[in-house]
């Protein structure tokens, strides 16, 4: 059996592969997230809104106001909940100078979308008490004064810490959380 090699075809393939490798290398230097954001397949399933994205891109923001306003994220929601992530357009870091103390937060297209995500989060926890919600949402381990948060929310909402989220009202609760988080309405 004789193997015939077409050198012209082989040269064209090698040049193409070399060019693609070079372009990928340059792209990775300019934007380290290029490979992930360009070649990872994005799966989108629609049901009035996007339900699933396999990745969220990093978005560098010019900080001009509070984090919730700059991110259009009134609840300072972090990535990790697939349904909430699907509403976001990306994520960003806090502006903390110590890299170990930086935290990721979702970035939304508009405050309206940010409020939608916050209401979605609250709707997932309708049977939780206000206290349980806030200890999960703003835990002391993240440096929050959760007890103060619960107390202030209950004062503003005129409810008890043992009241269920569903009995307080999602609209009112989301507005008060946004104000407490520093969102300027």
Q: Where do runs of H (alpha helix) occur along the chain?
A: 7-30, 34-39, 67-71, 82-87, 111-123, 130-137, 146-157, 165-168, 170-181
- Rounded to two decimals, the pTM is 0.68
If pLDDT is split at 50, 70 and 90, which confidence band does 63 have? confident
Q: How far is CA 50 from CA 58, 89, 175, in A?
A: 18, 11, 24
Q: How far apart are CA 163 and CA 131, in angstroms?
A: 8
DSSP 160: -
Q: Can you read off the two tokens belonging to residue 66?
A: 């509070």
User: SS in 3 state form for 97-115?
Assistant: CCHHHCCEEEECCCHHHHH
Q: How far apart are CA 167 and CA 12, in angstroms?
A: 69
- Bigger pLDDT: 3 or 102? 102
- Bigger pLDDT: 76 or 43? 76
Tens-place pLDDT, residues 122-169: 999 999 999 999 999 999 988 899 999 999 999 999 999 999 999 999
35 pLDDT above the threshold of 60? no
């Amino acid at each position: 059996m004789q193997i015939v090699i077409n050198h012209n075809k082989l040269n064209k393939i090698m040049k193409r592969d070399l060019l693609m490798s070079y372009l990928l290398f340059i792209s990775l230097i300019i934007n380290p997230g290029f490979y992930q954001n360009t070649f990872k397949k994005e799966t989108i399933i629609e049901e009035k809104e996007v339900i699933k994205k396999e990745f969220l891109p990093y978005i560098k923001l010019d900080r001009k106001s509070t984090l919730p306003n700059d991110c259009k994220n009134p609840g300072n929601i972090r990535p990790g909940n697939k349904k909430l992530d699907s509403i976001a357009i990306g994520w960003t870091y806090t502006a903390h100078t110590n890299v170990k103390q930086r935290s990721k937060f979702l970035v939304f297209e508009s405050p309206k979308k940010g409020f939608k995500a916050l209401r979605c989060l609250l709707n997932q926890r309708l049977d939780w008490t206000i206290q349980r919600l806030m200890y999960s949402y703003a835990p002391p381990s993240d440096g929050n004064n959760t007890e103060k948060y619960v107390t202030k929310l209950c004062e503003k909402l005129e409810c008890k810490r043992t009241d269920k989220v569903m009995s307080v009202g999602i609209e009112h609760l989301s507005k008060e959380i946004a104000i407490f988080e520093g969102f300027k309405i």
